[in-house]
Structure 1
Amino acid sequence: MLISDVLELTNQPEGAKLEFKRDDERPETFAKEIVAFANMNGGIVLVGVEDDGNISGIQRNNLQEWLMDTVIGRYVHPFLLPDYEEISVEGKRVAVVKIPQGNSKPYVLNRKDRQDIYVRYGDTCQLAGREQQTRLFDSGGLLSAEKFPVHGSSVSDLDQHRCQEYFRDILIQSPDEDLQDMMINHSFLVGDATPLACSYFAYALFAKNPELRLPQAGVRLSVYDGNDKDYNTVFDKVLDAPLLERRGSGGPHDPLEPALHERVSTLIQPYISKETLHGMSRRRVWDYPFEAIRELLINAFIHRDWTKQNYVRVIVYNNRMEITSPGSLPNGMTTEKIRSGAQLQRNPSSVRIFRDYGYVEDQGIGIRRKVIPLMQQHNEREPDFEVTEDHFKVTLWKKHSRPSASSPLMGED
């Protein structure tokens, strides 16, 4: 980092990714800031800088050793390795400590036989609340939110036809196996209460009306007659249906009720395709490759963060289509890794069942193998990926369309 970069940072106020520290503070105070940054999106600690941005300089001769051995080694768990650099500014030493977003969340502050989880909000560190702790454990792969019990639910909420079809026809249930025992063994039914409750994934996939007790299970589909939300709303509706189709005796070739992603595909068809006449026959021409849309819809459902109370969002504008899945990417996953075909499953039970139904490939690399090449071939450009703490959004652009300054690419209602 250059001197000019340090001076630019000191002219900014402390915030979500920036903290000023003297080097004479207690080690647990430093550790708390490090833990909070690691649990969120990372950040920079400038050591030798006052709260008002004035540079006072480092007094310790062994600051890096003290930070690594005492602050992090004794008070931060699991171990985290920050970037450390010392720069001389106006004759005074300033340490630039870059804390990465952690790959092993949640990070805790060890002190007095306690392990406290801190998060960063604005320019302050706060103890993580119950919901935030759940998200951190879920993102770290230490807790699977898809197996949480749905409050007030029971096996009677599930569509028995769909359940029997899955266990009998797909898992090949033997006549001497009890259906409810199989549901327990496969985590469809969980908890300690009587009767047992349905797990999140079982309720979303198999319940008759998933949104009844799991409001975030639906999808909100919106269509705008323009390139942003200031234009007229053509269609805006929350759809509620099981994530799986209901099949007849003919199996996959005999669908009786469509899955939720298929309902979405049917509803958006008039807004993203049109029929054209080719000779004596009619042909449907799509603005976006249909298989790419299907893949992204399925991914949005099965990889969503169930600790988030938001719907999956599908928005169609005149120049693009956005599909947003609640929750950030799972721990350690990045858009670069997704493009390269890396795999990390937040909801392995949901993925397994979708794979059993033939909705997803065994390889689990649909974005790399389907979405990106199909968009390159069909629309001559790759999709855009956006990751925030709250969502993962994929934007498909129409052929020859380009984003404009007014395009609302950040965040969703």
Structure 2
Amino acid sequence: MEVRRIDQDEIKAILDLNEDHFNDVKSKRIAPAKLQETFVAFANADGGDIFIGVEDKSEPGERVVGFNEQEEANGILSTLLEETNPSVENLVVEFLEAAGNGLILHIGIPKSPKVHYTASGDCYIRINASKRKIKGERVTQLAYSKGAEPYERKALPDVDIDDITDSKHLADYMHRVSSHLQPETFLRKQRLLTKKDADRVPNVGCVLLFDEEPQATLETRCAVKVYRLRTTEKEYKREQLAEMPVTINGPVEIVIASTIAQVAKYIDGESFDDNGTLVKLSYPSEALKEILVNAVIHRDYSLNDDIHVRIFDNRIEIQSPGKLPGYMNLGNLYDERFSRNPNLVRMLHNLPDPVNHDIGEGLDTAKNELKKAGLVDPVFEENDNAFIVTIRHQKLASIEDVVLQYFENNPEASIGNKLVRQLSGEDDMQKVKSALQRLRANGTIKLEDENASPFNYRYVKAQG
């Protein structure tokens, strides 16, 4: 197995780690079965890193007490890699050689799309700096949240199948996809009926697609609420509501179309005062559509909450119940693909001129449409048990424009690469460096200290 030598700075970084939601250190003396509980907890939550061979901060004496040789860790590795059920994929496993203090075993655990159990059959999740054992309904909810057990396939034995087969929404859908099957046969072939005892009954996905009133049928809330708020503040007050929130009910197709129409109604022709300048609200319709569609088809329907669309004077926030499913995270949204509700996505995509692109393409489209309109990229965040997309009515500014604006407001100040990245939102250090070099070359800015090292360059406004 790979052994990587680490220097004192890396050792210090490990020792300085705060044990939290993503990091933990363990003594090499820990029992493998006990360590497996923490390992499973990370995999069932958002992933993280465990360093084994490091004593707790509260213990006296030397903290790095590593393994003398790799074979010493065989018991731990065997328990974690072979006895976890199911096994955790895409792990990073390496030994770190800390000079004179033995080998630290580092295990990098990804966020997993599965629910994992210890060898004894227990399930744990990571919460802040601790692990919590869960069972029963909590495990089921974890599976729904991850997408490991699609909630859309949950059987609903109290729903009369005739209510669905007689639905005008189902008849219209079958007509548009040119199906001549009997309605019940069609539903069964589309996996919209789930076996319950000796019968096949409608499932959650079936109700969401074709029930006349899914919001009345399902135990959880599944509507969309649209708000118009006369403010730019992050927190809003009830009196800033332009009117009472509009609640949109019905099958998912109707919910999507009605939500798009309601949002357009609120923003068309609207404007707001931005520091004395009247700014007309103008968002690319395709970008809004893609993000709203994503909110409806990828939300966690097992959670008892609606989708909330808040239209502020300077932004739109779409809050969808449930964190990102499977292995999805904020860093791979544009690159990876995972659907929490695959049947829902597939059924909508089978329609002529579908509202949804292939899985994952909607966000790329939204980003590109915003850029064409000269607006900044959407912002994504996870908060408690929700996924939030914010579309800001903020014009794209070049890095050079950001620097010039800074000196216009602060003519006697200096600026460096880090501050420019913070002000512009551009994370690429090299792009910022190139922009600063262009401004220096054309005489707009100059170095504050010609003798400073490149890593410490700061710039001031050139005179004249």
TM-score tier after normalising by the smaller chain length: 0.7 to 0.9
Indicate if the aligned counterparts of 1:220 and 1:236 stay in contact, CA closer than 8 A: no
Corresponding residue number in structure 1 for 2:94: 84
Q: Take 2:133 and 2:209, find their aligned partners in 1: how far apart are those partners?
A: 34
* Aligned-pair CA distance for 1:289: 0.8
Corresponding residue number in structure 2 for 1:184: 188
SS at match of 1:29: helix
* Residues 1:234 and 2:242 aligned together: yes
* Residues 1:107 and 2:111 aligned together: no
Q: Take 2:66 and 2:294, find their aligned partners in 1: how far apart are those partners?
A: 52
Q: 236-245 or 179-188, which moves further after superposition?
A: 236-245
* 1:222/1:262 CA distance change after superposition, 3 Å: same
Summarize the alignment of residues 7-406 of structure 1 with structure 2, pairs less than 5 Å apart.
7=12, 10=15, 14-47=19-52, 48-50=54-56, 52=58, 55-58=62-65, 60-63=67-70, 65-66=73-74, 69-77=77-85, 78-80=87-89, 81-86=91-96, 88=98, 92-93=101-102, 95=104, 97-111=106-120, 115-138=121-144, 142-150=148-156, 152-158=158-164, 160-167=167-174, 169-174=175-180, 177-192=181-196, 197-214=201-218, 215-226=220-231, 227-231=233-237, 232-237=240-245, 239-245=247-253, 259-274=254-269, 287-335=282-330, 337-340=332-335, 342-357=336-351, 358-360=353-355, 363-367=358-362, 369-387=364-382, 390-400=385-395
Indicate if the aligned counterparts of 2:56 and 2:63 stay in contact, CA closer than 8 A: yes
Question: What is the aligned-residue RMSD (CA, Å)?
Answer: 3.4
* Aligned-pair CA distance for 1:98: 4.1
Q: Take 1:321 and 1:273, find their aligned partners in 2: how far apart are those partners?
A: 13
* Aligned-pair CA distance for 1:36: 0.9
Q: Take 1:143 and 1:368, find their aligned partners in 2: how far apart are those partners?
A: 24
Corresponding residue number in structure 2 for 1:408: none
The AA in structure 2 aligned to 1:62 is E
More relative contact order, 1 or 2 (CA 8 Å, 6+ apart):
1
SS at match of 1:109: coil
Indicate if the aligned counterparts of 1:372 and 1:382 stay in contact, CA closer than 8 A: yes
Instruction: List per-residue Cα deviations over 1:272-318 (Å, max 9, x = no partner).
Output: 22079xxxxxxxx7521111111111111111222333222211222
The AA in structure 1 aligned to 2:249 is A
SS at match of 1:30: helix
% of aligned pairs identical? 19
Higher Cα Rg: structure 1 or 2? 2
Q: Take 1:345 and 1:73, find their aligned partners in 2: how far apart are those partners?
A: 27
SS at match of 1:52: coil
* Aligned-pair CA distance for 1:379: 3.3
* Aligned-pair CA distance for 1:397: 0.9
Q: Count how many residue pairs are aligned between Structure 1 and Structure 2.
A: 375
TM-score by length of 1: 0.78
Q: Take 1:99 and 1:132, find their aligned partners in 2: how far apart are those partners?
A: 25
Q: Take 1:195 and 1:260, find their aligned partners in 2: how far apart are those partners?
A: 30
Q: Take 1:199 and 1:9, find their aligned partners in 2: how far apart are those partners?
A: 49
Indicate if the aligned counterparts of 1:38 and 1:99 stay in contact, CA closer than 8 A: no
The AA in structure 1 aligned to 2:394 is K
